[in-house]
Structure 1
């Protein structure tokens, strides 16, 4: 028979086990594709030890009722998932009952962190069953010295399954028919031509050294000139590359300059999902905010659309940014808000009311914006 002390200890362990099952491992905004209608909607996701929950934001406040649940046991994670056109930050979860969930993060770093945390949670679930969570990024990469670079180039150049080519902006110039360094690394990992990002960088550098690829724009040219042989190719969304000039059928790189290109030419300082109040209807919507410097601009994008151009933006020159008190509803703010508010007043006296998901994120955005004003 158990003593009272032993019974108390057992009860305490049961409570601790229950707490572990309800522990929040990670939470934040992700954009999810619908199952029936393939539209994209932003939801608040909460990662638990055995499942991924998601909630809707209504009127600037999180709905208390969950809108869906993704079980993690025996789930297959694909990261990066590159089959969604114009959405390179998507990862896919394939559940044990055969349902696919497509989720998009606000940045490559956020995407990889979500994928790593979900994989770790799945691995812990499988440990008790003597297995391991399936992850399509895990197979060992081929031995790089045995790879035929010409075959890699053929796959990369393929019109249907090769790397996507698009327009990119750097220092006031728009370059067409090129791709970023991070896009190449993502593609090589996705195609299982490299098992890790490090292997992918090594493989991409070899393509560059053999003149299969060439640099585009100042950032990648400078990297080629100053970096060592093993660091020439940059796993970076701002370093641009294209196929060599001898490959013509997929288009040539052209540089064009416009006012909007100048706005978008600055270095990206910070990216993230924030809630923004509309100017006319005063409703709250999740927007992807991108902060740039030199020139200093803050742009916001509608994450539910595939468009690459911003929905709006403004120069940070002479802007005022301030934190708003969460006690009560400040003047000019509508809706049942969650909190963590701040306000930006532009040089033209336009007022932007914005909510961050946490107090820490709010202060980080305020500090980052102030540095650019």
Structure 2
């Protein structure tokens, strides 16, 4: 690989990384090169020119999904040739899988260049998949119940109600792949559909019920981050589903229209922090989360009703903006006249966010 090829940027963006010595989580800007993954810190809203670290990709092993963090289902793991483990979290399942696929492709190209052979099957898919006709659905459900390695029961919101002791369709698919009961997400959907068809699992809420009414057997169990399911009522070992309604539940009940990492200026200290923004509709709200925390509750948010959103000129520092900014700025003014200054990673991200927000105001 020549010097120009090694300096090619394959992918870049925000990921949240777990520290090696102190196991806290920090948002970092990652740049994928053909032979390494670099990461940088953001200072005052601008990427630090000094890289904070690098992960060499030669003979790296990718585990995606990696489900050992209860409140962080979007983590994937990289294990280097020297057995150093790196844990990285993305803003969505789709982005997580994109990053894992891009890194896996880079690792395979390095291996092929070394030995001259054809690409091998990725390490994460080498385990033997159980044949469906030999699978005991009872054993699968027993494994799902396991208090240590089973699927995590959590609280979710739909149509203004908070449901406890349930899980997302995509979480079940992630778990089946992670436990190596299947090789692919397609196989996982098929197996999960069988559990649903045989009455081991049941749908919760409108999204999953609609999936059953409108889809065939293989598509009944949705690999979806909004469709809710639970264990059947006949299984009581791990709690029953309860529905509670609250004001916060109503705010969080809308359909997710867009999510991603953005930089937000603080109202008091005027410093810039990376936050995970989630835009919902019906009701239309924009919430933001601190990715360094394990808490799944938003740290702030506001209704989109009556909001104004506008792009800010990148030439100079606009009024009200502090610090060393990189550009791609936009501003949201709420109905109560609170001003939010936000930076997107790229100009395209900025325009996409502005367009998505305007549709909800």
- Shorter-chain TM-score: which interval? over 0.9
Q: What is the Cα-based RMSD across aligned positions, in Å?
A: 1.1
The 1-side partners of 2:64 and 2:128 are apart by: 15
The 1-side partners of 2:270 and 2:123 are apart by: 42
Displacement of 1:134: 4.9
Aligned position for 1:235: 223
- 1:372 has 2:360 as partner: yes
- 1:250 has 2:238 as partner: yes
Q: Report matched runs for 1:133-152 at 5 Å.
A: 134-152=122-140
The 2-side partners of 1:75 and 1:171 are apart by: 43
TM-score by length of 1: 0.94
Deviates more, 1:139-148 or 1:209-218: 139-148
Aligned position for 1:309: 297
Contact 1:137 1:189 in 2 (8 A): no
- 1:359 has 2:344 as partner: no
Q: Report matched runs for 1:100-111 at 5 Å.
A: 100-111=85-96
- 1:169 has 2:154 as partner: no
Aligned mate of 1:65, from 50, 72, 80? 50
Q: Report matched runs for 1:125-274 at 5 Å.
A: 125-130=110-115, 132=120, 134-274=122-262
* SS of equivalent residue, structure 1 residue 279: coil
Displacement of 1:227: 1.1
- 1:42 has 2:27 as partner: yes
Aligned length: 358
Displacement of 1:140: 5.0
Structure 2 gaps of 5+ residues are none
Query: Which stretches of structure 1, 4 residues or more, deviate above 4 A after TM superposition?
Result: 131-134
The 2-side partners of 1:134 and 1:254 are apart by: 41
CA, structure 1 residues 359+138, in 2 after alignment: closer, same or farther (shift >3 Å)?
farther
Post-superposition CA distance 1:112-155 (Å, at most 9, x none): 00000000000000002236485323445322222111111110
The 1-side partners of 2:235 and 2:123 are apart by: 35
Aligned mate of 2:103, from 109, 112, 118? 118
Contact 1:119 1:133 in 2 (8 A): no
- 1:334 has 2:322 as partner: yes
The 2-side partners of 1:42 and 1:267 are apart by: 26
* SS of equivalent residue, structure 1 residue 65: strand
* SS of equivalent residue, structure 2 residue 273: strand
Highest CA radius of gyration, 1 or 2? Answer: 1
Structure 1 gaps of 5+ residues are 1-13
